[in-house]
Amino acid sequence: MSQLPSLESLAWRTRPGILGAHSASPESIHALLGYYLRDRNSPSPYPGRDGLLDGSLFDWGVAPPLEKVIRGPEELSLLLGMPEVYRQAVHVVEPWKNVGINLQGEEVRASKNVAYILQQVADLDTVLYPMWDSGVFDARRLAHATSAGIATVVQGGNPSAYDPASFAGSAASLEQMLSFTDELLLRRSTDSGPSIFICLGHQLAAVSQIRLLRRAVNEIEALAYLSLDEEGRALESLRRVAGKIRQMGASLQVIKNGECIADGWGHPRFAVARNEGVEVGTRQLLPYRDRAHSHIPLELNDTHALVADDLDGVIDTLMSHERTLEIEMFHSDEVNLEAALFANWAFKLLHDSLVPLRYQVAVSPLAWLLSLPYAVEILSQTQVDEEHWTEVSTTCIYYKDWETHTLRRSFTCQFHPELMADIRDIGKREGPRYAELKDNDGARLLVRLLYHGMQE
């Protein structure tokens, strides 16, 4: 039996926070996130310590506050023995060693920026899971561990969510990353924090949503009987719904520039495909607007309009209240509009069908269906060039509690809210002071998602 590493050998802190005179707590973190968001000009809550995190030591595994790196089951077991640490940290997952190469020719490790922003704003610690280096050694346990914290952030990277070969050189294959994402999407519950999927993470989440829907349909159709369903009416009802979802998924085409690039939900590029153009640099975040597409059934657009009118995805509300929002794009792939509209329609249809049958389903092999999202709303878009858009630049994934009807949310975004305009990571550039972070649209958006997620 291998021996667990010691706290001393890893130089891990057991006291949450590093900037304050007292340990950070969920209450202090939440209050400081709110203090940061209330205006754009109030001073740092840690006078004299603004910029303390600058310097060459700001790198993962080198020194606090970036000392907690989970490279295998031994470190994970040690972390799980300290609930006072992992439950009040943000857990950052890296699918790839960087999120891309910037115009200066530098690798950009944006996970450091997430850690820097959260530490400077609220003395909120971060734990890193470099899955490109460690592999996905236990997808379900990793998802349970990360979702037990304040939030899980799944970062970006160069690979494509539709091309297994693009993950060559990584210890985590595309299938392993999708297996982890599947598990994470099923973990948003009463005792979990939200997930925030960025860039490649945003794309992995879109692919996983289609995988989960296909799994749901296959298992419903394969099930012989349901407990507490003596006459078989509940199972018959579920099979009708599964058949409708299968028919829609199999017939829906993805069209780009007038060409069908994916024919049905079984195609590897149904959820994610190459964008019409590479989108790099500062973009204005614009509200999502439904445009007429003759190949998209009206039923999908109508269901999305209903969800958008009924629910608050935070980002859409922010765009209506804040000034013009500018964010940093750094991608060449995109989530397809057709797949996003289909996922929202299918999840809502399945959820509404399960409501009167939830007691029968809860004691069956289909019980996991109760953990699926309720809906997926497209919140914003960006313009790539004069003719093309990234229509699905952000989404809100809604979960509805079956008994209380309480809503919980996770979020996905194609852009990088943690990057400044120069697209550089902290360590290669000077760390931004509190005043700069206070006035940065991307940082404010990242913090707002955490702030609202902590309330659910």
For the chain, domains (ranges, CATH) are 7-453 (3.40.50.880)
- Whether residue 413 is predicted with pLDDT greater than 50 in this model: the reply is yes
Helix (H, G, I), strand (E, B) or coil at 169: coil
pLDDT tier, 2 (very low <50, low <70, confident <90, very high otherwise): low
Distance of alpha carbon 252 from alpha carbon 132, whole angstroms = 33
Tokens 């970062």 locate to 155
* Cα–Cα distance, 445 to 433 (Å, whole number): 17
Encoding tokens for residue 93? 């997952």
User: What are the start-end ranges of the E strands in 285-358?
Assistant: 286-287, 326-335
Please enumerate in sequence order all residues whose Cβ is within 8 A of that of 215, keeping only pairs 6 or more positions apart, or say none: none
| Residue 224 to residue 292: CA distance in whole angstroms | 41
Q: Which of 74-83, 196-205, 234-243, 384-393 has the lowest mean pLDDT?
A: 384-393
Residue 168, CA distances (Å) to 134, 176, 201 in order: 14, 13, 17
Strands (E) across 247-342 are located at: 253-256, 259-263, 272-284, 286-287, 326-335
pLDDT(149) > 90: yes
Strands 286-287 and 375-383: antiparallel
pTM for the structure as a whole: 0.94
- The whole-angstrom separation of Cα 293 and Cα 270 is 16
**Cβ atoms < 10 Å from Cβ of 42:** 12
- Say how far apart CA 177 and CA 201 lie, in whole Å: 9
Task: Copy the structure tokens of residue 400.
Answer: 């509805």
Beta-sheet strands, E only, within 52-207 = 89-94, 125-130, 151-154, 195-198
Q: What is the mean pLDDT of the chain?
A: 91
pLDDT-based confidence at 305, cuts 50/70/90? Answer: very high
pLDDT, position 1: 45
* pLDDT for the residue 51: 67
Q: What are the Cα distances from residue 428, in Å, to 51, 157, 199? A: 14, 18, 21
Residue-level pLDDT at 189: 86
- Is the pLDDT confidence value at 370 over 80? yes
The helix-helix angle for 111-122 and 441-453 (nearest 10°) equals 70
The string of pLDDT tens digits covering residues 169-220 is 999 999 999 999 999 999 998 889 999 999 999 999 999 999 999 999 999 9
